[in-house]
Amino acid sequence: MIPIKSFRERRLALASQMQSGVAIVPTAPERVRNRDAHFPYRFDSYFYYLTGFREPEAVLVIVADAEKSQSTHILFCREKDTEREIWNGFRHGPEAAREAFEFDEAHPISTLDEILPKLLADQPAVYCALGEDGGWDTRVIGWVNRVRQQSRGGISAPAVIRDIRLLLDEMRLFKSEDELQVMRHAARISTDAHRRAMQSVRPGMREYEVEAELLHEFRRHGAEAPAYTPIVAGGANACILHYVENSARLASGDLLLIDAGCELNGYAADITRTFPVDGKFGPAQKDVYQLVLAAQAAAISEVRPGNPWEAPHTAAVRVLAQGFVDLGLCRGSVEEVTETEDYKRFYMHRTGHWLGLDVHDAGEYKQDGAWRPLQPGMTLTVEPGCYIRPAENVPQHFWNIGVRIEDDVAVTESGCEVLTSAAPKSVAEIEGLMQHRQA
Ligand code: GLY
Ligand code: MN
Ligand code: MN
């Protein structure tokens, strides 16, 4: 768990980077799935990052005074309501929330329209995620206009609206030790889930039966949810990058690609493993698998402070391009295959992304036009793959083989820590674990 004081420290760090002004950060709305049923509620990542507060219908406001180096942290949230709490569960209410989450003030959410124009009076700037939600943009501009209407009384309205994400994305990119602890835990639960999937799969099962094993493992360890829709893709389905039907029957001789990770205390794990449904890699499958594994090892060895974001991807592409030539999938030299991007017929995505509260987490990949250098505290995925669809010029024994291997890594002072190494990855580890399955 992230201690409550850490959320307050983040607000103070944000306020110290803002010049004087007012930050407005709403949480996510509840969303209707159909008629009276809602999607499972998930808070907004920016809001949660700054508050730790999980209830819907809440807004954080920070009033920063740069001259005095002071800031006031205000929560707007739902009021206590015995009747609603009988139906839908506990609500903190402003007073208890203020105390428990260390805000300076808390007010009922119903007072937002009345209080915000007062808070914005004589403030130079508003900080919000402009463009994220049209409804909120309109509300913010409405409050600014309400202040402007008081100009003849000598009150000035904020003259600029700044994008708060520029500050928050940079903060979220660097994980604290508290956050890394949570991410290690999310990784542990997710690697257990992948092990369980390897141990439970049998030819003839449906993909969703394996998905159920993953979800079982997530929930029984207290993870809130999958961090994204799991991909459980047998045989040719592994060549569909975002396959989520998860309903086909698994055949002996097929590979099974599973891309699944849980969300724990808001933080995502994102793991892919590919393994044989019957526990033993065939020769062509093994060739492709070992190639992707070598590409991943090359990529991970490039994750260290000072290396540009692009270095792991470049290393993975180099190994894959050589392998595609060696296996007869691409023709020409490695340089030609790389320069003409012929390798993209089999490897068409990038090698990773930032990871954190969002599975594709906040943070710029470039700075001043150049790939930014990796730095300690950044967390990212390393996920090369190879997807071979049937085609005339492709040797038939490779058709419909799809392999991806994905781990989560944290950049350290000296290199990196692989958070997800407990999920078996070498051919020997996978075949060894699967050999000991009960019949
Ligand atoms: N699971 C989404 C991704 O690997 O990026
Ligand atoms: Mn990923
Ligand atoms: Mn993934």
The secondary structure of 174-243 as a DSSP string is S--HHHHHHHHHHHHHHHHHHHHHHHH--TT-BHHHHHHHHHHHHHHTT--EESSPPEEEEGGGGGSTT-
Let me know if 73 is a catalytic residue: no
Q: How far is the CA of 371 from the centre of ligand 3 (A)?
A: 22
Q: Whose CA is nearest to atom 5 of ligand 1?
A: 360
Q: How far is the CA of 226 from the centre of ligand 1 (A)?
A: 12
Q: How far is the CA of 84 from the centre of ligand 2 (A)?
A: 39
33, 36, 152, 413: which one is catalytic?
36
Let me know if 31 is a catalytic residue: no
Report the atom number in ligand 1 closest to the C-alpha of 261.
1
* Domains observed in the chain: 4-172 (3.40.350.10), 174-435 (3.90.230.10)
Let me know if 361 is a catalytic residue: no
Report the atom number in ligand 1 closest to the C-alpha of 406.
4
Instruction: Give the contacts of 223 (CB within 8 A, at least 6 positions apart).
Output: 186, 189, 262, 263, 264
Let me know if 221 is a catalytic residue: no
Per-residue pLDDT tens digits of the chain, which is 439 residues long: 899 999 999 999 999 999 899 999 999 999 999 999 999 999 999 999 999 999 999 999 999 999 999 999 999 999 999 999 999 999 999 999 999 999 999 999 999 999 999 999 999 999 999 999 999 999 999 999 999 999 889 999 999 999 999 999 999 999 999 999 999 999 999 999 999 999 999 999 999 999 999 999 999 999 999 999 999 999 999 999 999 999 999 999 999 999 999 999 999 999 999 999 999 999 999 999 999 999 999 999 999 999 999 999 999 999 999 999 999 999 999 999 999 999 999 999 999 999 999 999 999 999 999 999 999 999 999 999 999 999 999 999 999 999 999 999 999 999 999 999 999 999 999 999 999 886 6
55, 270, 358, 408: which one is catalytic?
270
55, 259, 361, 408: which one is catalytic?
259
Let me know if 397 is a catalytic residue: no
Q: How far is the CA of 260 from the centre of ligand 3 (A)?
A: 6
Let me know if 406 is a catalytic residue: yes
Q: Whose CA is nearest to atom 4 of ligand 1?
A: 270
Q: Is 320 left (phi over 0), alpha (psi -120 to 50) or beta?
A: alpha
243, 318, 387, 408: which one is catalytic?
387
Instruction: Give the contacts of 298 (CB within 8 A, at least 6 positions apart).
Output: 315, 316, 318, 319
Let me know if 259 is a catalytic residue: yes
DSSP letter for 373, please. Answer: B
Report the atom number in ligand 1 closest to the C-alpha of 360.
5
Q: How far is the CA of 160 from the centre of ligand 1 (A)?
A: 37
Ligand nearest to the CA of 408: 2
Q: CB of 289 within 8 A of CB of 428?
A: no
Q: How far is the CA of 159 from the centre of ligand 3 (A)?
A: 42
Q: How far apart are CA 59 and CA 111, in angstroms?
A: 11
Let me know if 216 is a catalytic residue: no
pTM: 0.97
31, 249, 360, 437: which one is catalytic?
360
